[in-house]
Structure 1
Amino acid sequence: MTEDPDVVVVGAGAAGTGAARGLVEAGLKVLVLETLPRTGGRAFTQQAAGSVVDLGCGWLHSADRNPWVGLAGEIGFDVDRGPSAWGDQFRDLGFTQSERDDAYLAFEQWTERVATNPPRSDVAADAIDPADGWTSYLQALSGYISGDELERISCKDYAAYDEASTDLNWRVPAGYGTLVSAAMPAQAIVSLSTPVEAIALEGRRIEVKTASGTVRARAVIVTTSTNVLAGDSIRWPSALDPWRQAAQRLPLGWNEKLFFEITGSAPFEDETHLIGDPRDASTGSYYIRPFGQPVIECYLGGAGARHVADEGSEAVFARASDQLVGLFGGDIRRNLRPLIASDWARTASIGGAYSHALPGQADARIALAKPFDERVFFAGEATDTTNFSTAHGALQSGQRAAREVIAALTVIHS
């Protein structure tokens, strides 16, 4: 495959990119192994019918402290600093202002209870007040935010993210996935379509086995998703069982995106948004004509996203189309053409969206981030205790792992 590198980075997503950048800056020889035929991981921009769409992460969350903003400037990418339309409901369709006020209040009160008076169970669902009448809406938001129902969400984990996040959310017109891919350093050797089959601890060198051959490195940074780390697609040494057990406590949630192309004359306005049905926990969240492009993004989380895996994208496109028709009227059906859809749950090298801690398991993130024997290091959004589920959390975790490797190799060399 190549002469043995100093460090192997497993995965070419945001975490792998952050790791590779830090390592090459230190003068180390870096090999990045990626199962997919592209870089970017869960950041994936596609051109579809002339529009630029992000099938994975699309927003620079906590943009005022998001390192991708500065990196975008360094690389030469524009960042759109305009406000998100998420809090709006276009023309009050299906969700009046009064209803939104009540629903938002229910969410704010639930968030406050999670942060200041969480249930002993640490189960986020146990912080719901059924009397407010907005349980389905809260479950829908949990799907968008965490990718799963509140019964499987840790209060402590959710509160840590919420406290650290800010309300600024910006975008990259060229696509977040395009930015992440462009940030991979040219000095790193990147081998695409090269799944890792096994990692073995042989002597001081780490053996990384692939179908293309075996490489031996002084250190390895593992940036695979928690579902892959906990699964069996890679043969892991038994010494890493504690890390795999930590990964099991941080499963990936369910999130998918569908995009409709808007054809003909339709009553859709640029940069508008609406929730399909706030009383349906599986409802889609619809972002209309982002950047003025003739598309509608349907974002699904939790139960809504599971429908993609269970029924296929065609059936889910039909369900989303019916929901939009219910809001705008039957005439708009002819203006909606299914364009493209994600399928993260069935992407074998990833297996889902982003991590959430199961109730009582928030500290698994700390355990997952610890290195093994100063030879195997771990990165990825799941290893960040406050910025998990984001591309900037993944980037920062890769940078952190690179610093740990550099320090460890410096000690060994000295």
Structure 2
Amino acid sequence: MLDRRTMLTGSAAMTASLALPLGSGQAAEADVIVIGAGAAGIAAAHQLKAAGRRAIVLEARGRIGGRAFTDASLGPAYDAGAMFIHWAERNPWVQIARDLGIETPSESWGGGFRVFAGGQPMADADRQRRRGAFGQIDRRLETVDLAKRDVSIRDLLGDLGPDLAPIASSGLLLSIGEESERISARDYQRLWAGDDLLVPSGYGNLVARHGAGLDIRLNQPVSEIRWDGPGVSVTTPAGTLRAQACIVTVPVGVLKAGAIRFTPELPARTRDALDGIGMGALTKIALKVEGDRFGISPGTSFLEAGSPKRLMNFDLFPEGKDLIVAFCGGDHARELSAAGPAAARDHLTTLLSTMIGSDIRKAVTGISFPAWWTDPFSRGSYSVCLPGREAAREQLAEPIGGRLLIAGEATAGGGAMTVGGATLAGRAAAAALARIKA
């Protein structure tokens, strides 16, 4: 279980008016332009609207939700992105779901769990060895003093040796989505913990519903943000909009790729913060399965763990749906994303055929592969602080020029990597604008 210890600050209610007047002759279409209609952008826009401010949300995709996306392209729907309402005791989405009449039951694994190596059942001795390695990260975080020096998770586990250390850290591929040498131990240590809830009707659908009533404009990828005047101007294929301020909620991967040009360029301190944050590659691949279910109970999980670097979990027939959903992360997920859907389908069915039988190849009739790593509007699954750079999240959230803010799960402190954290960060950015003076 991730340990989410640190509280996100800056979520005060927005009570003061914006004090960012445009120069004479410049008409503003909005008080604030919000870039991105994911959880952070929606949260910021709702808070601005509640304070009587006009916010326009520009979304590059043809849908709302960002990396929270319930995909029904195969018929039965599944959450291709965010899936759990983490740390439910303080997650704002518990109340949002309740207000919308949407059920959020506790997590249930259903049909059991089996571990494989190379598609064959893992030997009991190897399973025991693997089980003994798990938990080493948390045990070390409880005893190691990181106050003086941050280290990577790989270095934290270095004394386990070359055989056990990769096993001990392999679970991070399916939670953080990144290789252990690229994960800050300090950043991991502060991540909030708590109960997880599910959204059977789709977390992505829930986020999209929460966007109702806002001025959200789809298919509007932003190419440039100018903040050299008294306000801001934002350019999309539809033209240029002006506002008093701008909240940028696109994923860090998009900013690092240079997809949006900033004029003038972002300050050195902001660019340095971006250099300290990477993007994980947690990936889901769904297969449509028709006909035989091979005697497998719905909700059964198969974990392929023969190679710690190529860990893959299969969720078979979740909630009784005709789907098998594969989870992978790190460099293995990047390789599959680059290879494309056809190669990914062949890889998965080959592995499943050794677990279930060769008839699975004929039973698989379709694939859904969002591939967040190669998606130009995400460039990864969620943010990961590099070793020694755990302060980059707070640094990235600092206001720029009195009129520009960056917000999202990457600036959510202990709530990073989650929809709940993105929501709190969006609210905090909207509140921060109220405190900025021209």
TM-score of the superposed pair, with normalisation by structure 2 = 0.86
Compute the displacement of 1:101 (Å): 4.5
SS of the aligned residue for 1:190 comes to strand
1:397 and 1:304, CA in 2 relative to 1: closer, same or farther beyond 3 A? same
Separation in structure 1 between the aligned mates of residue 261 and residue 49 of structure 2, nearest angstrom: 28
Contact conserved, 2:110 with 2:298, CA < 8 A, in 1? Answer: no
Q: Which amino acid aligns with 1:73?
A: R
Whole-angstrom CA distance in 1 between matches of 2:111 and 2:172 = 15
3-state SS, counterpart of residue 146 of structure 1? coil
Query: Structure 2 unaligned runs (5+)?
Result: 1-26
2:116/2:305 contact within 8 Å kept: no
Larger CA deviation: 144-153 vs 273-282: 273-282
Residues 289, 86 of structure 1: alpha-carbon distance in 2 compared, 3 angstrom cutoff: closer
1:284-339 deviation digits (Å, cap 9, x = unpaired): 11111111111111011002211223311221222222222222233433333332
CA contact (8 A) 1:136 1:279 kept: no
Preserved contact between residue 116 and residue 122 of structure 2 (Cα < 8 Å): no
Question: What aligned pairs does 1:226-241 form with structure 2 within 5 A after superposition?
Answer: 226-236=252-262, 237-241=264-268
Residues 333, 239 of structure 1: alpha-carbon distance in 2 compared, 3 angstrom cutoff: closer
* Contact in 1 for aligned 2:70/2:77 (Cα 8 Å): yes
Change (3 A) 1:87 1:62: farther
In structure 2, distance between residues paired with 1:105 and 1:65: 32
Task: Give the corresponding residue for 2:155.
Answer: 126
- Secondary structure, in 3 states, of the residue corresponding to 1:180? helix
Partners of 1:80 and 1:95 in 2: CA distance: 32
Is residue 389 from structure 1 mapped to residue 420 from structure 2 by the alignment?
A: no
Q: C-alpha distance in 2, partners of 1:97/1:3?
A: 67
User: What residue in structure 2 maps to residue 311 of structure 1?
Assistant: 339
8 Å contact kept, 2:287–2:364: yes
Quote how far apart the aligned CAs of 1:135 are.
Answer: 3.6
| Alpha-carbon distance in 2 for matches of 1:318, 1:91 | 19
Is residue 2:162 matched to residue 1:137?
no
Q: What do the CA deviations read for 1:119-172 (whole angstroms, capped 9, x no partner)?
A: 7561211122444844443443222222211111111111111xx212x22211
**Residue 431 (structure 2) aligns with:** 403
Whether the 8 Å CA contact 1:90–1:272 is kept in 2: the answer is no
Counterpart mapping for 1:81-160 below 5 A = 81-84=106-109, 88-89=113-114, 94-95=121-122, 99-117=126-144, 120=149, 122-128=151-157, 129-131=159-161, 133-160=163-190
In structure 2, what is the Cα distance between the partners aligned to 1:97 and 1:70? 44
Q: What is the rounded CA distance, in whole Å, between the counterparts of 1:111 and 1:60 in structure 2?
A: 22
Any conservation in 1 of the 2:289–2:364 contact (CA below 8 Å)? Answer: yes
Structure 2 match to 1:374:
402
- Partner in structure 2 of residue 274 of structure 1: 302
Q: Which amino acid aligns with 1:392?
A: G
Decide which of 194, 205, 213 is 1:178's aligned counterpart. Answer: 205
Tell me what 1:6 maps to.
31
Cα distance between partner residues in 1 of 2:226 and 2:396: 19
Aligned residue for 1:113, secondary structure, equals helix
Deviation by residue 1:40-68 (Cα, 9 ceiling, x = unmatched): 01111111333111111112222333211
Which has the higher mean CA deviation after the structures are superposed, 102-111 or 131-140? 131-140
* Aligned equivalents of 2:182, 2:129: Cα separation in 1: 25
- Structure with bigger helix share is 1
**Distance in 2 (alpha carbons) for counterparts of 1:370 and 1:282:** 37
| Match among 205, 211, 215 for residue 189 of structure 1 | 215
- Asked if the contact 1:106–1:132 (Cα under 8 Å) also holds between the matched residues in 2, the reply is no
Q: Secondary structure at the match of 1:247?
A: helix
**Counterpart position of 2:50:** 25
**In the TM superposition, what is the alpha-carbon distance from 1:200 to its structure 2 partner?**
1.2
Answer with 301-310 or 32-41: which moved more.
301-310
- 1:100-124 Cα offsets, whole Å, 9 max, x none, are 4542331212322144316756121
Distance 1:389 1:41 in 2: 13
* Kept after mapping to 1: 8 A contact 2:221/2:237: yes
Q: So what's the TM-score if we normalise by structure 1?
A: 0.91
Q: Mapping of 1:39-54 within 5 angstroms?
A: 39-54=64-79
Structure 1 window deviating more from structure 2 (336-345 vs 65-74): it is 336-345
1:48 alignment partner, SS class: coil
2:325 to 297, 321, 327: 297
In 2, Cα distance between equivalents of 1:82 and 1:238: 44
**Would the aligned equivalents of 2:115 and 2:304 in 1 still touch at CA under 8 Å?**
no
- Whole-Å Cα distance in 2 between the matches of residues 118 and 258 of structure 1? 39
**What is the alpha-carbon distance in structure 2 between the residues aligned to residue 277 and residue 197 of structure 1?**
42
Residue 350 (structure 2) aligns with? 322
1:198-217 maps to which residues of 2 (within 5 A)? 198-217=224-243
Provide, for residues 184-243 of structure 1, a one-character-per-residue CA deviation record: whole Å limited to 9, x for no partner.
140x21111111111112432111122212111111111111122223211112243422
In structure 1, what is the equivalent of residue 249 of structure 2?
223
Q: Which amino acid aligns with 1:160?
A: R
1:59 is aligned to 84
Task: For 1:197, give the aligned amino acid.
Answer: S
1:80 aligns with 2:95: no
Alpha-carbon distance in 1 for matches of 2:131, 2:327: 19
Secondary structure in structure 2 of the residue aligned to 1:217 = strand
Distance 1:42 1:379 in 2: 15
* AA of the residue aligned to 1:379: A
**Alignment match, 2:63:** 38
Mapped partners of 2:112, 2:156: distance in 1? 23
